[in-house]
Amino acid sequence: MTESLCDQCPGMCCRYIALPLDEPADRESFEEIRWFLMHEGVSVFVTDGQWYLSVATACKHLDDKGMCDAYATRPAICRKYSSGNCDYHGGEYEYQLFFTHAQQLADYAAEKLGDAWTAPTK
């Protein structure tokens, strides 16, 4: 049997979820994203102009070898995932922006919003 890329990988694509976010445009939207970044295992990245919330959390169906124990009944999103998007073999990501800490985002927001960022809030 031919070995697939997945056979060589510890299930990296199954160890996080990434959800699209609206691009923050004001203090309130930056504050919401800043709050996300105050939690363990959370990062925010931008690729191809799209903002994403990434949460480091492994799929419940990864076995001890990093393989899917629900492969035959895996969800459509898993079925659509291609080796062209492979986290293991795809090399380094080229993010436009990448935030792992709230202060990183606050600094970016201050650049983007200027006085609107430093204005007092309730």
Nearest in space to 85 (alpha carbons), one of 1, 3, 16, 2: 16
Q: What is d(CA 122, CA 107) in angstroms, rounded to the nearest whole number?
A: 20
Please name the residues in contact with 57: beta carbons below 8 A apart, sequence gap of 6 or more: 15, 16, 17, 41
Residue 115 pLDDT > 90, yes or no?
no
Mean pLDDT over residues 20-44, rounded?
A: 97
Residue 109 pLDDT > 70, yes or no?
yes
Residue 2 pLDDT > 50, yes or no?
no
Mean pLDDT of the chain: 88
Residue 98 pLDDT > 60, yes or no?
yes
Domain edges within the chain: 5-118
Q: Considering the entire predicted model, what is its pTM?
A: 0.84
| The two three-digit tokens of residue 46, written as one number | 């931008």
